């Protein structure tokens, strides 16, 4: 009889135990572009990034439902003059107001993200590190998104500071804080 009661209590605990799910807590989107023939990096973040994701029971499935919408006017390089130039002479040249990033697939070390910029979508493989937060790092080539007119615009606007050279590869980084909620 005692075994039966203990077994029923154990089953009740399992049945009534809440499920856990992951939610987005905070997202940071960073970038580093390169200037001068010495390829000096200049980086920053975007302050306005909207995240759309479905709360799921595993971090991997949560990531696979994630889409970001990045407001290009919210660029922040810690230099307001530079930020204004990037908006005016880079993004506005081709009318790029938003960039979207949608997770396509996730493995232990690689996350593939479909990035849409200038109405062109390319899947970018990124190095994945997942601990208490998820970090992804990779590179885009502006030519893949037909952004060379914008690159030319920023190169002309910053010709002397860039010593005539602005590179077309850009390092990108996503950092997502998640939290696990158990009912």
What's the pTM value of the predicted model, to 2 decimals?
A: 0.85
Architecture of domain 19-182: Beta Barrel (2.40)
Backbone phi, then psi, for 9, in 5-degree steps? -65, -40
State what percent of residues in the chain have pLDDT above 70.
90
With a cut of 60, say whether residue 7 has pLDDT above it: no
With a cut of 50, say whether residue 79 has pLDDT above it: yes
At 23 the pLDDT is 81
pLDDT, tens digit (0-9, with 9 covering 90-100), for 118-154: 999 999 999 999 777 889 999 999 999 999 999 999 9
């Amino acid at each position: 009889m005692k075994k039966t009661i203990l077994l029923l209590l154990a089953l009740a605990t399992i049945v009534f135990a809440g499920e856990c799910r992951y939610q987005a807590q905070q997202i940071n989107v960073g970038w580093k572009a390169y200037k001068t023939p010495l390829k000096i990096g200049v980086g920053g973040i975007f302050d306005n990034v909207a995240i759309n994701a479905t709360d799921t029971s595993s971090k991997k499935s949560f990531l696979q439902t994630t889409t970001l919408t990045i407001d290009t006017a919210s660029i922040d390089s810690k230099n307001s003059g530079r930020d204004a130039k990037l908006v005016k002479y880079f993004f506005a040249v081709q009318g790029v107001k938003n960039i979207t990033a949608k997770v396509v697939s996730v493995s232990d070390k690689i996350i593939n993200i479909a990035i849409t910029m200038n109405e062109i979508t390319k899947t970018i493989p990124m190095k994945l590190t997942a601990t208490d937060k998820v970090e992804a790092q990779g590179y885009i080539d502006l030519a893949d998104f037909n952004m060379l007119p914008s690159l030319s615009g920023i190169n002309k606007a910053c010709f002397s500071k860039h010593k005539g050279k602005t590179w077309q590869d850009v390092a990108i980084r996503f950092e997502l804080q998640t939290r696990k909620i158990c009912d």
